[in-house]
A and B are shown apart, each in its own frame.
Chain A
Amino acid sequence: EVQLLESGGGLVQPGGSLRLSCAASGFTFSSYAMSWVRQAPGKGLEWVSAISGSGGSTYYADSVKGRFTISRDNSKNTLYLQMNSLRAEDTAVYYCARAFYYGSGKDAFDIWGQGTMVTVSS
């Protein structure tokens, strides 16, 4: 069964750091680009960051650029999100999602994890 399982969320003070992990199973992890998407309480979906299958290319939303770092370990089938200088507005459920390419430069997220909650508060 194709599955993504996030971990690492929790309560952190403003200015603190947290590392999220996403363990993948049931598919060839290195063949897929992956993303992190977040959802603040009662709000919509916001893409956060993406990484190519090899890990050689990374992309970030302006709201997290310079503070968050996406990475992956294909030998461990695991995706990571290192979050530094956290702010209250980073409070959200963080989902990892697999990118499904359906055309030249066109992708969608076909597999989602169950999400992990990050709360930034003093």
Chain B
Amino acid sequence: DIQMTQSPSSLSASVGDRVTITCRASQGISNYLAWYQQKPGKVPKLLIYAASTLQSGVPSRFSGSGSGTDFTLTISSLQPEDVATYYCQSRGFTFGPGTKVDIK
């Protein structure tokens, strides 16, 4: 089974900062990687699939990159509404443990 890890587990950044979250797979998964955003008390929302394709309606400040085993989710300019936990997900429906993003 594929294992997904994420780093950091949490971060605090200022509004306008560039934020990067890393997801690593235990084996190569090509571009089979999705990112989800879950705001406090809300339902998860698909942000990115195929490692770098933005889901319709997602702000362009979000971007994804990577292939194989190492992937990143970048928020180019952090906004207050981006406070959430972010999860990666890949083959076998495996989710990463999540990265909690707060405003400093």
Residues of A within 8 A of B (CB): 35, 37, 44-47, 50, 59, 95, 100, 102-103, 105-106, 108-110, 112-115
Report B76-98 residues with CB < 8 Å from chain A CB. Answer: 85, 87, 89, 91-98
Given contacts A50-B93, A102-B53, contact A44 B87 (CB under 8 A): yes
Given contacts A108-B46, A110-B46, contact A44 B97 (CB under 8 A): yes
Chain A binding surface, main DSSP class = strand
Size category of the binding interface on chain B: 20 to 34
Beyond known contacts A44-B98, A106-B49, A109-B36: 10 more, CB 8 A cutoff: A37-B93, A45-B44, A50-B93, A103-B31, A103-B32, A106-B91, A108-B34, A108-B89, A109-B89, A110-B55
Distance from B103 Cβ to chain A, minimum over Cβ atoms (Å) = 20
A106 to B97, CA, bound (A): 20
- CB-CB under 8 A from A115, the residues of chain B are 43
A-B contact count (CB 8 A): 57
- CB-CB under 8 A from A46, the residues of chain B are 95
- CB-CB under 8 A from A50, the residues of chain B are 93
B49 CB contact (under 8 Å) in A95, A100, A113:
A100
A102 to B92, CA, bound (A): 15
Report B11-28 residues with CB < 8 Å from chain A CB. Answer: none
Given contacts A35-B93, A44-B97, A47-B95, contact A109 B46 (CB under 8 A): yes
Cross-chain contact B93 with A106 (CB below 8 angstroms): no
- CB-CB under 8 A from B46, the residues of chain A are 100, 108-110
- CB-CB under 8 A from A100, the residues of chain B are 46, 49
Cross-chain contact A112 with B45 (CB below 8 angstroms): yes
